[in-house]
Each structure stands twice: as C-alpha cells, then as structure tokens.
C-alpha cells in the first residue's frame, strides 16, 4: 500500500489492486471522499473530483510518486 498527503487530501493506493488504476481519496480529517481513476481522472461511483485534486494527481504523476 502507498500513501501520500498533499494539500488537505490523503491518497492511498494498493499495489496489485484491481483495474482501473485508481487512488482512494480522504479529506484532512480522514473521511473517505471517493476513488479516482487516475488513467482518465474520473471519479468512480458517480463522484466528481475537484479541479484542485486533479491538479494534485497530475503533479504527483509528474514527480513520479504515482
């Protein structure tokens, strides 16, 4: 399992987890927000990620952390 905190979000992912490649998103208080498909930047289960979260994911991918 991997985990990183950035800008008020905690992101978790599990090595070898089922497709699509995704992260579990929590707020700064540990409340589950949703799962984000990082291949197409869409929320799973009819959830819409904020623009800020999508920007954070892009930064982390550019940094090689995701």
pLDDT tens for each residue of 26-43: 999 999 999 999 999 999
Q: Is the pTM of this model over 0.85?
A: yes
Where are the domains positioned within the chain?
2-62
Listed residue (66, 20, 27) closest to 50, CA to CA: 27
pLDDT at residue 18, as a whole number: 84
Measured between alpha carbons, how far is residue 15 from residues 19, 21, 23, 60 in Å?
A: 11, 10, 11, 17
Residue 10's pLDDT band, with cuts at 50, 70 and 90, is: very high
CA 6 – CA 24 distance, rounded (Å): 13
CA 27 – CA 22 distance, rounded (Å): 16
């Amino acid at each position: 399992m991997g985990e990183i905190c950035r800008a008020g979000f905690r992101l978790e992912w599990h090595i070898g987890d089922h497709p699509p490649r995704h992260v579990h998103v929590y707020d700064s208080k540990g409340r589950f927000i949703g799962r984000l498909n990082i291949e197409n930047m869409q929320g799973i289960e009819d959830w819409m990620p904020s623009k800020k979260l999508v920007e954070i994911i892009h930064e982390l991918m550019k940094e090689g952390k995701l």
